[in-house]
Structure 1
Amino acid sequence: MKALRASICVAITTLALSLSLAAPSRAAEDEAGAVTQQMKELYRAGKYTEALPLAQKALALREKEFGTEDAMVAMPLNDLGTIHYNLGQYAVAELLYKRSLAIREKTLGPDATEVATVLNNLGELYRAEARYADAEPLLKRSIAIREKALGRSDPSIVMALSNLAAVYSNQGRYDRSEPLFKRGLAILQKANGPDDPEATVLMSNLADAYINLHRYADAERLLKRSIAVTEKAFGPDHPDIAQAQNNLATLYARQGRNEDAERLYKLSVATFEKTLGPDHPDLVDVLDNLAAFYRDQGRTADARGLIKRSQAIRGKTGAS
């Protein structure tokens, strides 16, 4: 099982920077700024399909005012890439991230914190594609840039820490992922308090590591906390909740709590479908987990149907 969605909070943090590069004309700033703000609000609510045309419009406005290679275009490119990433459109997102990265390195230099933002997002994209050898150096470089510029406890470091930890978790290297998740969680909670919704992804992914380390009580506590904080901030229909439900179901399956596990797997599938659509790559892991659960229960026909659907999504999206 993957420790997914580390990029959700990355994208929120990234999008929050969109208006800080400033200096366009007031007319363009008013329109582009308003469009970007609407896009961010939809993004934070997990409404990626609705956010997409607004991100496209914001980019078009910046390109019209400044040209296609100006520094002011780099953040809208990155924002649009982030939305395509969350829609499972990885090839499109990669091209946008690379274009944003090239502009930022050229205009701001290789050690700018804005460069670190795009390095983080591109590294997370490669993690999602299981391109771990490509992901790891980008995420390490992102962390190093921010540590040098801002110090080791700045909250902007957290998402690259989380994404690097997720790379290690995906590889089964939980001895390396656990301290990174814990460090990131401590930084966020110190900075923003215990009900920070941006910390919930770290809670869920640290819990995944704990499940694989057989620390079930610690995992259950974190997952329930993640669900509660996310629901308080965004309501019950959010992709982060679906991921936490998936992880909690896996925990219960390992403990033999079969009714609870099946219920939560089904809730996770339903939430992902409602928020991201029926063919999103994030469904693959939940479908595979539920199929494995059914196989263990001797329900082979149910398992086969889920595997068939999972394979179909992989074929459409290239999910790993």
Structure 2
Amino acid sequence: MARKAVATRQDVLGAEHLDTLMSLGILASVLQGQGKYEQAEEMNRRALEGREKALGKEHPDTLTSVGNLALVLRCQGKYEQAEEMNRRVLEGREKALGKEHPSTLTSVNNLASVLQYQGKYEQAEEMSRRALEGKEKALGKEHPDTLTSVGNLALVLQCQGKYEQAEGDEPTSTGGQEKALGKEHPDTLTSVDNLALVLRCQGKYEQAEEMNRRALEGKEKALGKEHPDTLASVYRLAYLLYQQEQYQDALPLY
């Protein structure tokens, strides 16, 4: 459907029309969801270039394209480029929308995530706390976006060895997302995986294995067996089994 929309709008409206660029962004999002990151990056760059020409670099829609590109760059491990893009989005949204706007806080969260992947944990924790505090005020404690921020903070705490704080936050995120989104939603399953990681780091292997298996089963159904997120869950389960010296079970997963 997305490819059909892009092709039709290019024919009727032209490649540079704003509606065509919107369809490119939608196609990029679908490709990213399937783990087709290189194609998604190409579509996002086309949409960004077009919006910069048509709307200017500071327009909210242009900043949305910058954020989308940053996300797919992060998924490919291009963290420095992703950090640069996320800082641009954050700065632009702070000027245009204010520091407390939900879209600005989403940019804070995205920047925190990229910083975490680079091992800049203190900066990531500061950003994660800012995003969580702002979203609790703006959206409430039970909103899915707030719960995502809870999970993000838990993850960066875990990376710093603050396991008790992380274990306290992650079940809040997981339980809330189960209520808001359902047990099989990909965001819920990511929280399940994150909770398993915290449990594993504390040596609670049986509980961690239960969580890992639940996340893997859910992702296989929702995303397919070859999706990068599913394979990440396979790896987490394999490593957990390896830690418990269950080598015969771990090997086929690897």
Same-fold status (TM-score > 0.5): yes
Relative to 1, partners in 2 of residues 1:202 and 1:58: Cα closer, same or farther, differing over 3 Å?
A: farther
Of 55, 59, 70, the match for 1:108: 55
| TM-score normalised to structure 1 length | 0.75
- Equivalent in the alignment of 1:219: 166
Q: Post-superposition shift, 1:251?
A: 1.1
In structure 1, C-alpha distance between the alignment counterparts of 2:104 and 2:133, rounded to whole Å: 12
- After superposition, residues 240-251 of structure 1 pair within 5 angstroms as 240-251=187-198
Residue 117 of structure 2 is matched in structure 1 by: 170
TM-score (ref. length: structure 2):
0.94
- Do 2:140 and 2:146's aligned partners in 1 also have CA atoms closer than 8 Å? no
| 2:249 aligned residue (296, 299, 302) | 302
Checking the alignment, whether the CA contact within 8 Å between 1:200 and 1:240 is kept in structure 2 is no
RMSD between superposed Cα atoms in Å? 1.6
Q: Which residue of 1 aligns with 2:43?
A: 96
Output the amino acid matched with 1:68: A
Asked if 2 retains the 8 angstrom alpha-carbon contact of 1:246 and 1:264, the reply is: yes
Deviates more, 1:190-199 or 1:269-278: 190-199
- In the alignment, does 2:61 pair up with 1:135? no
Mapped to 2, the partners of 1:240 and 1:83 lie a distance apart of 16
With over 3 angstroms needed to count, the CA separation of the structure-2 counterparts of 1:231 and 1:59, relative to structure 1, is farther
Correspondence for 1:274:
221
Residue aligning to 1:154:
101
Structure 2 unaligned runs (5+)?
none
> 1:183: which partner in 2?
130
Per the TM alignment, residue 236 of structure 1 is displaced from its structure 2 partner at its CA by: 1.1
Question: Are 2:224 and 2:230, in contact at CA under 8 Å, matched by a contact in 1?
Answer: no
Structure 1 residue 65, shift from structure 2 partner: 4.2
Instruction: Find the aligned partners of 2:172 and 2:5 in 1 and give their Cα distance.
Output: 35
One-letter amino acid matched to 1:273: E
Fraction of identical pairs, as percent = 34
* SS in structure 2 of the partner of residue 290 of structure 1: helix
Q: Distance in 2 between matches of 1:87 and 1:133?
A: 23
Instruction: Identify the structure with bigger relative contact order (alpha carbons < 8 Å, sequence gap 6+).
Output: 1
Structure 1 residue 262 and structure 2 residue 195: aligned?
no
Could you give the per-residue CA deviations for residues 53-85 of structure 1, whole angstroms, max 9, x where no partner exists? 3x3344345435422211222222112211211
Alignment equivalent of 1:144, drawn from 74, 84, 91:
91
User: Any conservation in 2 of the 1:197–1:233 contact (CA below 8 Å)?
Assistant: yes
Letter in 2 for 1:215: K
| In 2: Cα distance, 1:219 partner to 1:57 partner | 44
Residue number in structure 1 paired with 2:200:
253
Equivalent residues in 2 for 1:193-232, closer than 5 Å: 193-232=140-179
Number of matched pairs: 254
What CA distance in whole angstroms lies between the structure 1 residues aligned with 2:135 and 2:8? 34
Shift of 1:158: 2.2
Deviation at 1:303, TM superposition (A): 1.7
* One-letter amino acid of the counterpart of residue 190, structure 1: K
Query: Aligned residue for 1:126?
Result: 73
